[in-house]
């Protein structure tokens, strides 16, 4: 039998005669129930550390693994039951791809996958330190970190300058959450920040790279929207508006530039286990109204699973696809 490790899925742990009681004991101690973990069943146990946003240290996962294995941490086995990312060697060979939000979560997983598949990645984020850590983690890859804020024209100019004449792909991933507020409670500051980063930033950067793509007669843009771009009950008003806007921008650009060889698509993630922060004071009214719908999320994905969807649309494998919104949400949108 395969040993239970940090890579084994939460479902495998819960169903295991040894692992099940250990995880349930931890849940009980924190006042939670097994049902809390239902959307997480397909995720590796390790993802609990990312999901907890610092509340659960790595040592808790290590202790669970030790408890299940007589006090030792066993070697990881390929057959952990969790989905494994499969790198397609050379898929982005000879290509330059700009990825925003590349220091964390979905953007980081996307930038990493492209770099490991031979692409030259212009990795953009406001976080200099985390970008540096990413670049250092893949010393043999071609990663050009650009520290910048996509809402600022000078940053957009710096990104285009770093990319050079040829830009094969752009992944607009950078984004921020709102405070779950309903429309009449939304402050100007919240609206401006969320629309500014999620929609206007993606617009400004797309506007800046499209001329190079038109000149080359080819190019792919992938915009990251959200389940909140598809429905009204997944987030607050500002975020929902921004992500619906991203879909409109995607469709219009796909229509306008299709004849010139460009393809513009969007990915709509459902719940993803990243450390994406929420503002400190979320709206009580908005949260209460959203809660029953958010608890119906069928499953959470890893950032790497979203990168698989995004890189598919960035690559030539998606050759005949233009103007589409790919819901990468474990089936949430069909509920
Ligand atoms: N995590 C989810 O459940 C989820 C669900 C649906 C959609 N999304 C979307 O996916 C995208 C990525 O989210 P994530 O979960 O990986 O979040 P994340 O917080 O882990 O990563 C977002 C990154 O964007 C960067 N960023 C923020 N503002 C920026 C700016 N102005 N300029 C440059 N970089 C900036 C941040 O520094 C961060 O590194 C976002 O657009 C988000 O709305 C996430």
Nearest C-alpha neighbor of 171 from the set 333, 272, 306: 306
Pick the catalytic residue from 66, 130, 243, 257: 243
Whether residue 239 lies in the annotated active site = yes
> 46 pLDDT exceeds 70?
yes
The single residue listed with the structure tokens 């995607």 is: 250
Which two three-digit tokens encode residue 51?
């999901």
- For range 196-214, the mean pLDDT: 98
Any residues with CB less than 8 A from the CB of 263 and at least 6 apart, and which? 219, 220, 221, 254, 313, 318, 321, 322
- The pick from 174, 243, 278, 328 for probing ligand 1's pocket by mutation, whose C-beta has the most ligand atoms within 8 angstroms, reads 174
Q: Between these two residues, 333 and 53, which has the higher pLDDT value? A: 333
Please list the alpha-helical segments (H only) found in 69-170: 105-116, 128-137, 153-163
pLDDT at 254: 99
Point out the least confidently predicted range of 34-43, 136-145, 255-264.
Answer: 34-43
Ligand 1 center to residue 253 CA distance, Å? 22
The H-or-E segment that residue 308 falls in is helix 303-314
> 27 pLDDT exceeds 90?
no
Ligand 1 center to residue 51 CA distance, Å? 14
Which two three-digit tokens encode residue 311?
């890189």
**Structural domains in the chain?**
10-68 (no CATH), 96-334 (3.40.50.720)
**pLDDT tens-place string over residues 9-21:** 999 999 999 999 9
Task: Provide the whole-model pTM.
Answer: 0.93
- How far apart (Å, rounded) are the C-alpha atoms in residues 101 and 111? 9
Ligand 1 center to residue 306 CA distance, Å? 12
pLDDT at 220: 98
Nearest residue by C-alpha to atom 42 in ligand 1: 175
- How far apart (Å, rounded) are the C-alpha atoms in residues 299 and 41? 8
- For range 108-129, the mean pLDDT: 98
pLDDT at 252: 99
Contact 213, 97 (CB under 8 A): no
Q: Is 12 in the pocket of ligand 1 (CB under 6 A)?
A: no
- How far apart (Å, rounded) are the C-alpha atoms in residues 260 and 240? 31
- For range 182-192, the mean pLDDT: 98
> 50 pLDDT exceeds 90?
no
Within the chain, how many helices (H) and strands (E) appear?
12, 9
pLDDT band for position 126 (50/70/90)? very high
Nearest residue by C-alpha to atom 36 in ligand 1: 101
Burial of residue 3 (CB within 10 Å: 0-12, 13-18, 19+) is middle
In this structure, how many other beta carbons lie within 10 angstroms of the beta carbon of residue 83?
A: 15
Which two three-digit tokens encode residue 309?
């969807």
Pick the catalytic residue from 55, 66, 204, 239: 239
- How far apart (Å, rounded) are the C-alpha atoms in residues 124 and 150? 8
> 37 pLDDT exceeds 90?
no
Nearest residue by C-alpha to atom 43 in ligand 1: 175
Contact 261, 234 (CB under 8 A): no
Q: Is 101 in the pocket of ligand 1 (CB under 6 A)?
A: yes
Whether residue 257 lies in the annotated active site = no
Nearest C-alpha neighbor of 297 from the set 262, 252, 332: 332
Ligand 1 center to residue 118 CA distance, Å? 24
Average pLDDT, the chain: 95
- What is the secondary structure of 212-229 as a DSSP string? HHHHHT-EEEEEE--GGG
DSSP 198: I
Counting atoms of ligand 1 from 1, which one is nearest the CA of 106? 16
- The pick from 54, 99, 105, 171 for probing ligand 1's pocket by mutation, whose C-beta has the most ligand atoms within 8 angstroms, reads 105
**Percent of the chain predicted with pLDDT > 70:** 99
Q: Is 151 in the pocket of ligand 1 (CB under 6 A)?
A: yes
> 1 pLDDT exceeds 70?
no
**pLDDT tens-place string over residues 306-331:** 999 999 999 999 999 999 999 999 99
């Amino acid at each position: 039998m395969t040993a239970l490790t940090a890579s084994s899925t939460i479902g495998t742990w819960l169903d295991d005669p040894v692992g099940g009681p250990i995880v349930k004991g931890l849940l009980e101690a924190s006042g939670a129930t097994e049902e809390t973990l239902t959307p997480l069943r397909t995720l590796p146990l390790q993802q609990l550390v990312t999901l907890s946003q610092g509340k659960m240290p790595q040592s808790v996962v290590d202790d669970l693994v030790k408890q299940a294995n007589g006090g030792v941490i066993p070697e990881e086995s390929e057959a952990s039951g969790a989905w494994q990312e499969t790198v397609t060697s050379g898929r982005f060979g000879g290509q330059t791809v700009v990825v925003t939000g590349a220091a964390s979560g979905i953007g980081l997983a996307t930038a990493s996958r492209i770099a490991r598949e031979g692409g030259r990645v212009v990795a953009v984020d406001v976080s200099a330190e985390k970008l540096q850590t990413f670049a250092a983690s893949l010393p043999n890859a071609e990663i050009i970190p650009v520290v910048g804020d996509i809402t600022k024209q000078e940053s957009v100019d710096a990104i285009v300058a770093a990319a050079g004449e040829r830009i094969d792909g752009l992944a607009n991933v950078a984004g921020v959450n709102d405070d779950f507020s309903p429309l009449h409670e939304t402050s100007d500051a919240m609206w401006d920040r969320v629309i500014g980063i999620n929609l206007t930033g993606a617009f400004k950067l797309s506007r800046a790279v499209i001329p190079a793509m038109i000149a080359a007669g080819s190019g792919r843009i992938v915009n990251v929207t959200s389940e909140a771009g598809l429905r009204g009950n997944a987030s607050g008003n500002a975020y929902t508006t921004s992500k619906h806007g991203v879909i409109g921008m995607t469709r219009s650009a796909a229509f306008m530039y299709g004849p010139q060889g460009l393809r513009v698509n969007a990915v709509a993630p459902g719940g993803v286990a990243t450390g994406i922060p929420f503002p400190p004071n979320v709206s009580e009214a908005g949260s209460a109204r959203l809660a029953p719908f958010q608890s119906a999320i069928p499953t959470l994905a890893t950032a790497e699973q979203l990168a698989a969807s995004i890189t598919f649309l960035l690559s030539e494998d998606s050759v005949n696809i233009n103007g589409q919104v790919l819901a990468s949400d474990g089936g949430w949108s069909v509920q």
